[in-house]
Amino acid sequence: MEVNKEITELYLSSSSSSPIPTFTTRWWSKDTVAMVTGANKGIGFSLVNQLAQLGLTVILTARDVEKGNRAVELLKSHGLHVHFYRLDVSDPASIKTFALWFQKKFGVLDILINNAAVSFNDIYENSVDHAEIVIKTNFYGVKLLTETLLPMFRRSDSISRILNISSRLGSINKMRNPKMKEMLLNEGLSAQEIEGMVNLFLENVRDGTWKNQGWPEIWTDYAVSKLALNAYSRVLAKQYEDFGLISVNCFCPGFTQTSMTSGKGTHTAEDAAEIGARLALLPPGELPTGKFYIGFNPGVISKL
């Protein structure tokens, strides 16, 4: 089967005059605590690898204990020490257990990279048979984990950071429902409205009307989950913008060779993680909030 042409073109057509900067200022130390979700493989694993090499204290999380331990051992064989704890972001009980462990062991968090996500479609398919778990993992899970950890973020001049690994498939221009699109473009958008949108989508899935309700046409359930994540990131960034203590941004790594794309893509997970790490480690004076980064150098930077 051929790769969905529109998905491929979506990630190849981006251009901008705003490059993603390279490391210029080492503001972090071994006491800087970063965690990455869904990190036993792919982009998540490569992000952990990058951050550990740069000398941060890194927590690798995964829902499968055996796979998580195997990832830690692989990093250890390359001289890198990272911490592991089981975390299934789709399970509120797992999030609670993780947060209690994290608070006891580390106390403070500097960087949260929400990478864990699922899709059950092949590139050329668009089924919504698993829409509930896709939404639960990619949106509700990220939201609950983030809100549970917010009190633990370090308040300092270095500025704590949340980087949500997202997708351009969840861009507002993919929404064809005019009422929903208007709501998403509203500057006063709330988390409750985003949840209402997601619940409406799931209702449309259950009653079989989702195809004619104006939802995104490609990987619909995944796109709606990322649309909600992008919108929530915008709301959260705005909530903390005046305090200057937490930065919230999204990064779409593009068409990456991972298990989600059945190994197809224009670049490797390592390539994507290199950009993700650079975004997560921007110097405090250059760190924006409420931005959506797409692709590679020069990298598209737009408002969420």
List pLDDT tens digits, range 121-151: 998 899 999 999 999 999 999 999 999 999 9
Q: Which CATH architecture has domain 5-126+134-169+229-303?
A: 3-Layer(aba) Sandwich (3.40)
Residue 4 clears pLDDT 60, i.e. is over it: no
Ranking 6-20, 148-162, 165-179 by mean pLDDT, the lowest is 6-20
pTM: 0.91
Contact 123, 80 (CB under 8 A): no
Domain spans, the chain: 5-126+134-169+229-303
Distance, CA of 189 to CA of 194 (rounded, Å): 8
Confidence band for 262, pLDDT divided at 50, 70 and 90? low
Mean pLDDT of 279-289: 94
- The whole-number pLDDT of residue 267 equals 67
Q: What is the pLDDT of residues 200-243, one digit of tens each?
A: 999 999 999 999 999 999 999 999 999 999 999 999 999 998 88
CB distance 33 to 56 below 8 Å: yes
Cis peptide before 298 (omega within 30 of 0): yes
Q: What are the C-alpha distances in Å from 247 to residues 124, 138, 194? A: 35, 20, 20
Checking if the pLDDT of 75 tops 80, the result is yes
Exactly one of 11, 140, 222, 240 is catalytic; name it: 222
Determine whether 222 is an active site residue.
Answer: yes
CA distances to 36, 70, 218, 283 from 237, rounded to whole Å, are 19, 35, 27, 18
Q: How far apart are the two ends of the chain, measured CA to CA in Å?
A: 34
- Strands 256-257 and 33-36, bridge-based pairing: unpaired
pLDDT of residue 244: 83
- What's the average model confidence in pLDDT over 185-206? 97
Q: Of 33, 80, 83, which is closest to residue 62 (Cα–Cα)?
A: 83
Pick the closest to residue 135 from 221, 235, 196, 203 (CA basis). Answer: 221
